[in-house]
Amino acid sequence: MGADREGRGGRGRPVRVGVYVGCCALLLAGCASMPDSGGLSGVESTPRQDSQVRVFAMPPRDDAAPAEIVQGFLEALTSDDPRYETARKYLTESARKAWDPYRSTTVLADAPDPESVPAGTREGSDDDSLYRLSGSKVATVDSQHAYAPDSGSYTRTVHLTQLKDSKQWRIDGLPQGVVMGKSDFQRNYVSVNKYYYASNVTSRTGGPLGTVADPVYVREQVDPMTQMVRALLKGPTRWLDPVVTSSFPSGTELKKGIKSLSPDDRNRVTVPLNRKADHVGRAQCAKMAAQLLFTFQDLTPTGVVEVELQKSDGSQLCVLTEGQAEGIASHGTGHHADYQYFIDGKQRLVRMPSGGSDKKSEPVPGALGEGEKKLRAAAVSRDESSAAGVSADGTSLYVGSLVSGGSLGEAVLHSQGKTADDRLTTPSWDGQGDLWVADRDPKKPRLLLLQQGAGDPLVVETPSLDGRVEAVRVAADGVRIALIVEKDGKSSLQIGRIDRETESGERSVVSILELRSVAPQLEEVTAMSWAGDSRLVVVGREQGGVQQMRYVQVDGSTPVGTAPSALTGVKEIAASEDEQLPLVAHSEEDGIVRLSSGEQWQKVVKDGAAPVYPG
C-alpha cells in the first residue's frame, strides 16, 4: 500500500512539459571549481533538475591542466548544448572533425571515473597525457536512438596533447559517441514512442490500421519534437523493422533548412517535407500525418491536435486532426475495455465494470460464466465477444462466446502434463482474434496458436527460446509477445517479435524471433501484463531481495514515474494498454484488489483469482 499511478488524465506515463516553457541556463557545478593541479577526482553526476531548466557547461579556461580538460569535457557531454559545441572546444581541430557524438550514448551506473595513466607505463613525452575512463555499463543508446540494456566493465582512453602554438592542453584522441552516468542520462534523455504500421498482420476489412510503438530516447531539452520527426522519417529501429512499415516514401526528410518544429498556439504542427513526398495521394498523406500525430502525443502538455504536411514548395499536402487520425489507425491505448474479468470463488469467469468505483461482479454471459465447467484461468477476446477458459486441473482449454445461453463445446486443446504446474498457462488473445497458450508439459513443451480460437493448434517456432514458457501475453499490436521463461530455477521476462509467413498451400508458419530480456535485474519474475503501447507491469524480485512491482519498457529501460505501490503476495497482475484503467491483482492475502489513479489498493473480493483485461 503506498504510491499511486500517476500521469496526465490517469495515464501512467508522465508527460514532459519543459520543452515549451521559458528556460534558464545554469553552469554545471563541477565546472565552477576545477583543479589547477593535483589528482583528478571523479566526475560527479549532475543532480536531476526540473525539466524547465536547461544546463550548459563552461568552455575550457586558459592554461587549464590536463585533468581539468578531461573533467570539463565529460561535464560538457551532460549539458543541453544542442550540437555539443562546448564539448568540441576541449578537442583539437582534427579530433573535432573525427568525433561523432551521435554514434551512441553509453550509460554507466555512475559518472565515468577518469584516472591518469602514469608516464612510466606508457610511451609519450612532456607534451602529451593519457587518461583512462572506467565504469560499469548499464545500457547503450545507438545511432537510431534505440535503448538496450548492457552490462560489464567500461574502459576507454582519452589522449591529450599540448598545442605547440598556444601551449593549451586539448584532447586529440577519444572514443566515439558520448558517455555519462545513469543520473545524467535520466536528466538529459526522455523516452518517446514513434509509430509505424504493423506489416505482418491483416487489418480488418474497412477497419483502422494497426499501429506499433517503437520507443526511442531523445535529448529532452534539445528540441525533442524535431528529433522525433527526423527519427520517424529515418524508419523503425532494427529490431522492429521486419514487422512494421512506414507510410512515408523512402528518402523522405524534413525540407532543407528546417531547423526546428513546434506547435502553434492552437496546438497545430506544420511539417515541411522534401521532394520525395511531393506526389503522394491524400490517402497516403493522411496515414503519414497519423503517424506523426501519434508520435507527438507525449511531447506537449496538452497534446498536438492537428498536423499539416507541406510539399517542398511550401504548398499544403494534407491536414489531419486528432479525431480523423483515430479513424485511420488504432493503437492499444485507444481501445477502452468495458469490463475487468477474474475467476471467482465458484471457479466461474466473472466481470465488473472497468471504470468507476463499482466493485460488484457478475458471471459473464455464456457457458464460461453460467455453466458448470470449473476454471482456473481465462482470457477474453479484445472485442469482448468471446472467451477462453482453462479447466481447474489445467488439462483442457475451452472457447465460448459471451452470449447468454451459449453452450460450450469440446475442449480445443489438451495437455498431458502430470501436474497442474506442467499443464496449460493462462491464454492470451491477439488483436486479430487468434488465441495463444503455452503447454508446459516437460515431455513436450510448446507455444501454441489457435487461429480465431479454433481448429488444429499451430505450433509456434521459437528458435532462440532457452527455457520453458511459464506465461504468455500478446501485445495489442499483434507483432510483439511477452513471455515469462523459466530455466534452472530462475524466471525472466522476455520480449519477442512475432513473424508470420505463408508457405505454399497457404500453410501458416509463425515464429518468435530475437527474444530479449527486458528486466535482467530480476531473477524471479512471477507475473506480468502489458500496461501501455510499449510498457509492461512486472512482479518479481532481485537476487536476495523481496517481491516488488515495477513498470518496464519493451526496450528494457525503466520509465520515468512512480512504480505501483507495494502489495503483499502478488500471484497475478492485470493491466490494460489503456493506461487510464486501474491495475487489478490477485494477492494471497487480500484476494482480488484494484489500484486506480490517485487511490490506494482497494479490495474487490476476497475469494477470487486470475484477473485479466481483454487480450
Q: For each of the domains in the chain, give its residue range(s) and CATH number, in order of start.
A: 33-188 (3.10.450), 189-332 (no CATH), 333-612 (2.120.10.30)
**pLDDT exceeds 60 at position 41:** no
Condensed to tens digits (0 to 9), the pLDDT of residues 497-511 reads: 999 987 655 678 999
What percent of the chain lies above the pLDDT cut of 90?
Answer: 75
Given a contact cutoff of 8 angstroms between Cβ atoms, the answer to whether 376 and 610 are in contact is: yes
Given a contact cutoff of 8 angstroms between Cβ atoms, the answer to whether 152 and 44 are in contact is: no
State the pLDDT confidence band at 45, using cuts at 50, 70 and 90.
very low
Q: Which three cell numbers stand for residue 241?
A: 523493422
Given a contact cutoff of 8 angstroms between Cβ atoms, the answer to whether 538 and 557 are in contact is: no
Mean pLDDT of the chain: 88
Which ranges of 3-104 would DSSP assign to H, the alpha helix?
A: 66-77, 85-88, 93-98
Q: Which of 48-62, 213-227, 321-335 has the lowest mean pLDDT?
A: 48-62
pLDDT value at residue 302: 78
Q: Give whichever of 13-17, 133-137, 594-598 has the largest mean pLDDT.
A: 133-137
Q: Which three cell numbers stand for residue 296?
A: 507527438
**pLDDT exceeds 70 at position 125:** no
Q: Rg of the chain's alpha carbons, rounded to an integer?
A: 27
How far is it, in rounded angstroms, from Cα 486 to Cα 500?
A: 25
**pLDDT exceeds 80 at position 356:** no
**Region 84-113 average pLDDT:** 97
Given a contact cutoff of 8 angstroms between Cβ atoms, the answer to whether 588 and 571 are in contact is: yes
Which ranges of 235-312 would DSSP assign to H, the alpha helix?
A: 282-296
User: What's the residue count for the chain?
Assistant: 615
Pairing of β 602-605 and β 105-108: unpaired
Q: Which three cell numbers stand for residue 549?
A: 512491482
Measure the CA angle with vertex 448, ends 446 and 451; round to 5°.
170
State the pLDDT confidence band at 447, using cuts at 50, 70 and 90.
very high
How far is it, in rounded angstroms, from Cα 532 to Cα 577?
A: 4
Find all residues with CB under 8 Å of 12, minimum gap 6, and list them: 5, 6, 531, 532, 535, 551, 559, 561, 579
Which ranges of 56-161 would DSSP assign to H, the alpha helix?
A: 66-77, 85-88, 93-98
**pLDDT exceeds 60 at position 122:** no
State the pLDDT confidence band at 336, using cuts at 50, 70 and 90.
confident
Q: Which three cell numbers stand for residue 267?
A: 496546438
Sign of CA dihedral 615, 540, 142, 181: positive
Condensed to tens digits (0 to 9), the pLDDT of residues 405-426 reads: 888 889 999 999 999 999 999 9
112 Cα distance to chain centroid: 26
pLDDT value at residue 330: 81
| DSSP SS3 for 327 | helix
State the pLDDT confidence band at 466, using cuts at 50, 70 and 90.
very high
pLDDT value at residue 553: 95
Q: Which of 406-410, 533-537, 605-609 has the lowest mean pLDDT?
A: 406-410
Output the pTM of the full model: 0.88
**pLDDT exceeds 50 at position 555:** yes
State the pLDDT confidence band at 559, using cuts at 50, 70 and 90.
confident
**pLDDT exceeds 90 at position 459:** yes
Which ranges of 63-198 would DSSP assign to H, the alpha helix?
A: 66-77, 85-88, 93-98, 182-188
How far is it, in rounded angstroms, from Cα 79 to Cα 99?
A: 17
Given a contact cutoff of 8 angstroms between Cβ atoms, the answer to whether 585 and 572 are in contact is: yes
